[in-house]
Amino acid sequence: QGLVVKRKADKPGGSPEKRIGRIGIEIEILPRHIFKRVGLVESMEYGARVTLVNAVLVGNSLKTLLTTSDGFKHVGGPIAIAKAAGDSAKHGLAEYTWFTGVLSINLAIFNLLPFLALDGGRMLFLLYELVRRKRVDPRKEFLANAIGMGFLLLLIVLITAKDLRDLILK
């Protein structure tokens, strides 16, 4: 058995106030939570639905990031994530648990992107080996992953610098 959090607004027919987070996570500021005890199957169905919805949100966020000139404004790194986690914790354990679950889904999806040095990049190498029916030269694979890791580290530094700038200016 598990617990499903149903969200309810203070006013009948109203909806909770929503704020779109800079890291692509939607944080709902909830006046109250209603907990309902449900069985294992319903808990799993709910979890699958939430995961699918958040996967679509991550996809939309990536599309915005890559196709609009101000997409980078909505990217947040470790500092923005820590701040969002603190903000969600102020709203109680249920909201914090929701945030960490959504963050885990986001990280899992990003890890599966076909980018070298991530699991998605490894899957590209495996697909290549499957199609070509021969192993990739380990030196070339290492070099590709090293370049990918260098790019990821540079991206982390840039996003963290942006987070620091945003934190100081706000």
Label residue 17 by pLDDT band (50, 70, 90): very low
Environment class of 125 (CB within 10 Å of its CB; exposed 0-12, middle 13-18, buried 19+) = middle
Question: Across the strands, what pairs with 133?
Answer: none
Instruction: Specify the 3-state DSSP secondary structure of 38.
Output: strand
Is there a contact between 119 and 112 (Cβ–Cβ < 8 Å)?
yes
To which residue do tokens 């380990």 refer?
A: 138
User: What is the predicted pLDDT for the residue at 20?
Assistant: 44
User: What is the predicted pLDDT for the residue at 50?
Assistant: 83
To which residue do tokens 């990821």 refer?
A: 152
Residue 61 to residue 80: CA distance in whole angstroms: 16
What pLDDT, in 10s, does the model give residues 20-76? 444 544 445 444 556 678 889 998 998 898 888 888 888 888 888 888 877 777 788
Q: Which residues contact 58 (CB under 8 A, 6 or more apart)?
A: 24, 105, 106, 109, 110
Average pLDDT estimate for 83-108: 88
User: What is the predicted pLDDT for the residue at 33?
Assistant: 56
Give the pairing of strands 2-8 and 17-20: unpaired
pTM: 0.68
Dmax (CA) for the chain in angstroms is: 63
At position 23, the amino acid (one-letter code) is I
Q: How far is CA 82 from CA 90, 114, 153, 167, in A?
A: 13, 26, 19, 12
H-type alpha helices, 24-169: 40-67, 78-90, 93-111, 119-132, 138-169
